Amino acid sequence: MLLKFDQQGSLFEQLARALKREILEGRFGADSHLPATRSLAAALGVSRNTVIAAYELLRSEQLVAARAGSRTRVMNNTVAPAVRASRISIRAQSRFSTRTRRLRSVTLSGLKAGPQYNLWYGDALTRPQLLASWRRKLVAAAVWAGSRYPSAIGLPSLRSAISKYLLRRRGVSCNPDDVIIVSGTQQALCVVARTVLEEGQSAVIEEPHYELAQHALLAHGARLTSVRVDSEGLVTAELPLRPPRLIFVTPSHQFPSGAVLSLARRLELLKYAAANDCWIFEDDYDGEFQYGNRPLPALRSLDVGERVIYSGSFSKTLFPGLRLGYIVCPTGLRNDLCMAKALEDLGCSSVEQAALAAFLESRQYEKHLRKSLAELRNRREALLDGLSRHLAGDIDIADSSSGMHLVVWFRRLSYRGLDRLVAHALEQGLGIYPIHPFYQSPPPRPGLILGFAGLSPAQLHTAAALLAGCLNKCRRPD
Ligand X SMILES: Cc1ncc(COP(=O)(O)O)c(C=O)c1O
Q: Which residues bind ligand X (CB under 6 A)?
A: 108, 122, 184-186, 210, 250, 255, 283, 285, 313, 315, 320, 325
3-state DSSP assignment of residue 474: helix
Closer to ligand X by Cβ: residue 450 or 466: 450
> Dihedrals φ, ψ of 133, to 5°?
-75, -30
Closer to ligand X by Cβ: residue 41 or 189: 189
Closer to ligand X by Cβ: residue 276 or 290: 290
Greatest extent of the chain over all pairs of C-alpha atoms, in Å:
91
On whether the CB atoms of residues 40 and 48 are closer than 8 A, the answer is: no
Burial of 229 (0-12, 13-18, 19+ CB in 10 A): buried
Residues 6+ apart with CB under 8 A from 207: 226, 227, 228, 229, 439, 440
Cβ neighbours around 299 below 10 Å, total? 27
Q: Which of 430, 374, 422, 305 is nearest to 127 (CA)?
A: 374
Q: Which of 403, 300, 327, 313 is nearest to 356 (CA)?
A: 313
Amino acid at 16: A
Min dist CB 457 to ligand X, Å, is 22
Closer to ligand X by Cβ: residue 71 or 194: 194
Min dist CB 229 to ligand X, Å, is 13
Tell me the β-bridge partners of 246: 203, 279
Min dist CB 312 to ligand X, Å, is 8
Closer to ligand X by Cβ: residue 41 or 404: 404
CA distance 419 to 438: 16
CA distance 174 to 159: 10
Closer to ligand X by Cβ: residue 78 or 315: 315
Strands (E), 105-157: 117-118
Q: Which of 401, 317, 311 is nearest to 356 (CA)?
A: 317
CA distance 380 to 372: 12
Element (H, E) at 370: helix 364-391
3-state DSSP assignment of residue 118: strand
Min dist CB 206 to ligand X, Å, is 10
Min dist CB 404 to ligand X, Å, is 9
3-state DSSP assignment of residue 461: helix
Min dist CB 12 to ligand X, Å, is 45
Min dist CB 467 to ligand X, Å, is 22
On whether the CB atoms of residues 344 and 187 are closer than 8 A, the answer is: yes
